[in-house]
Structures are given as C-alpha cells and as structure tokens.
Structure 1
Amino acid sequence: MMTLEEFKQLIEKQQKCPDSLPKPLQALWFDYKGNWDRAHEIVQNANDLDSAWVHAYLHRKEGDLSNASYWYRRSSKPEFHAGLDQEWEQITSDLLMKVKQLWMPMN
C-alpha cells in the first residue's frame, strides 16, 4: 500500500498522472497539481461512491456549498468542516487504503 506521503512525493516528482490509478485518485492527483477543471472532469460523470466523495470535495473547494452538500449525500459521507488540505489528505488516505495492489508508475 502506498502511504499519503509517498503519494504526494510521486505527484511532485512525476508530471504525468498514472493511468493505472483509480479515477477518484486521478482526480485528487490533478487537484493537487492545481488543475481543478481536469479533476472535476474525471469525477463528474462517475457513479461510484468514491468519485462522489471527491466530487463533493471539489465543489466545496470551489465554494459551491449547496452542490457539495448534494455530492456528500451521494457519497454517503458526512460533510467535512475542517480545512480543505485536511479533507484532501483524508480522502486520499482512505482511497489509498482501498487500493489492493501496489501500483508502480511507468518511468
């Protein structure tokens, strides 16, 4: 399993997001890189709970709290009220724990 810190280091070291990452983690990758639009594009049409959770976070970050509330309900996760960085780390950590196999990016 990849840790949160290892994931952050990989994002900082590598320009291209690995295609082998699950879509919600890809969205969090692009958000970390400062590309909110690409992150949103990845999760906006997904129907899984993890993507809905990332979608909620992205709308909260955007400041669209009513839309964020809708996506929190869709994700079955409670609304987050601490800082955005804390929420990104919480979601990322939880999703990394779900990844069964350690994936290694192509160099």
Structure 2
Amino acid sequence: MSPSPTPGAADELRGAGLRVTAARVALLETVRHGDHLGIEAITLGVRDRVGHISLQAVYEALHALTAAGLIRRIEPAGGAPRFEGRVGDNHHHVVCRSCGVVA
C-alpha cells in the first residue's frame, strides 16, 4: 500500500461536495498520476493503494468524480472509456490505430 493520501485530494473531494473515502482519494490520485487509464488499470492502481475494492465501487466512484468535474472521461472511437486528471481545458486526443495508445 502507498503512503497516506495527499491533503489536496481530500480537500478537492470535499470542495466538490463529495464524501471523502480512502477509495475515492486513491482513485483520484491514480487517475491523476496515470495517463489516459482504462478501468482495469485504475482498479489495479486503487487496489495497490487501499486493498480490495469491487469493480462496481470503481465504476461508481469514477461516475461521481467525473460528474463533479474532478476527472475527465474520454471515449475513443471503437475503444473502451479512458480517464484522465487533466480537466478545465478543451484539448484533443489522438488514438493510435495500431496499438490503441491515447495521447
């Protein structure tokens, strides 16, 4: 398990009107430290930080954090949803047709 969560993540959750839980903090930090992560990678990252968490709990937390504007959901054509911590701007994504990498 990783060190204790950064105070900033907990403060951001509170500021968005969300309840602060270890899973939500871990999810927010995982998405922000990752690069256009899919559900599986996020789930593994959260589990590394807090232990077991159900896939349903990950989906629910992703929905809550996306709705609050703390993370962004992108849906590449023909691919599974990805999530990123970069919000507040209008930027574009490029998806490699061969390997599916998002940049």
- Whichever structure has more helix as a proportion of its residues is 1
Q: TM-score, normalised by structure 2?
A: 0.30
- Whichever structure has more strand as a proportion of its residues is 2
